[in-house]
Amino acid sequence: MKTADFSFDLPGELIAQHPSARREAARLMVLDRGTGETQHRAVADLPDLLIPGTVMVCNDSRVRKARFSARVAGADSEREFLLVRAVPGGTDDAGRSSRWEAMTRKPSRLRVGTVVEFPDGRAATVTGHRSAFVLLSFDTPLDEAYFAAWGHVPLPPYIDRQDEDEDESRYQTVYAREPGSVAAPTAGLHFTAELLERIEQLGIQIEWVRLHVGIGTFLPVRVDEIERHEMHEERCELLPDVAGRLNVAREAGRPILAVGTTSVRTLESAWDEERQSIVGFSGETRLFITPGYRFRVVDMLFTNFHTPRSTLLMLVAAFAGRERVLAAYEEAVRRRYRFYSYGDAMLIG
């Protein structure tokens, strides 16, 4: 299948540059994947659209302020680095890591041995290159306090501005727990504590999984045929007790609603074909879901509108059908929905 099969035209003014005034005030397109019919509601209406007994699964990974402006020793200007994840083997007893995979513009220009000066006097030495990353070794291990104090919110490049005070809270789900993501699991940005309480009061069971969003989620597809795209690994976790409750729900015929594509990939990665059940696990996933994939776990999907030619759009197309999804996107453009991370949402079932 061609990457171009997942293209669509989007006027630039529909790319949301700021969040809506209230999280749950975003618009919600409801797509019936069986008929292609759509409804137009608000995220605040979600509790009324779900049947009691539904299990809603959310990704509780926390976005780390992992974007830094740093100066290459001897250079006149700064360049931006996104510290994507710690490299195994560089962690001390306190859980701090001195070795990091980072993304930066034209990384091959940074030769091994180059010193990069980070805020607060930290220095990092380029020790190598791996795929899209440059490998950095810091003179002092980094902890979460350093990221919080000196890092910037890693807004995606289609948000054409610097991060602002509001982004610290709004580019983060209200239920975020363990830091580790370099992009938000954006479907969850629409939920408030009050909305979650309403959902639970109506008999909707909420469960938690964790996928730390890395470049596997947001790296563009740069090949003509999607089968040739390399999906980078991302760390995810689904606890055994959660797996048990999900299996009970499945056996009872209760629908499982995944909040966001990261929850979908975690749930589907947890499926054990031999046992025909969901199993608890903690590890890496490279699962790349494209049309033709047979979903074992997920029955419904709550998600944002995604970028053209992205692995996220391909996943949604696999779930609801490419033609129906692209038709829904065309309708969203006509109706002036807001797109991408700070944009509006879809409920597909």
Determine the residue type at 68.
Answer: F
Tens of pLDDT, residues 46-59: 999 999 999 999 99
Q: Where are the beta strands (DSSP E) in the chain?
A: 27-31, 38-42, 55-59, 62-63, 67-72, 78-86, 97-103, 115-117, 123-130, 133-142, 179-181, 205-211, 234-238, 256-259, 271-272, 277-278, 281-285, 300-304, 345-348
Q: What CATH architecture is 67-150? A: Beta Barrel (2.40)
Query: Under a CB-based contact definition with an 8 Å cutoff, are residues 267 and 300 in contact?
Result: no
Q: What is the pLDDT along the chain (349 residues), one digit of tens a residue?
A: 999 999 999 999 999 999 999 999 999 999 999 999 999 999 999 999 999 999 999 999 999 999 999 999 888 889 999 999 999 887 887 788 999 999 999 998 899 999 999 999 999 999 999 888 999 999 999 999 999 999 999 999 999 999 999 999 999 999 999 999 999 999 999 999 999 999 999 999 999 999 999 988 888 899 999 999 989 899 999 999 999 999 999 999 999 999 999 999 999 999 999 999 999 999 999 999 999 999 999 999 999 999 999 999 999 999 999 999 999 999 999 999 999 999 999 999 9
For the domain spanning 3-63+167-348, the CATH number is 3.40.1780.10
pTM, two decimals, is 0.95
Domain boundaries, the chain: 3-63+167-348, 67-150
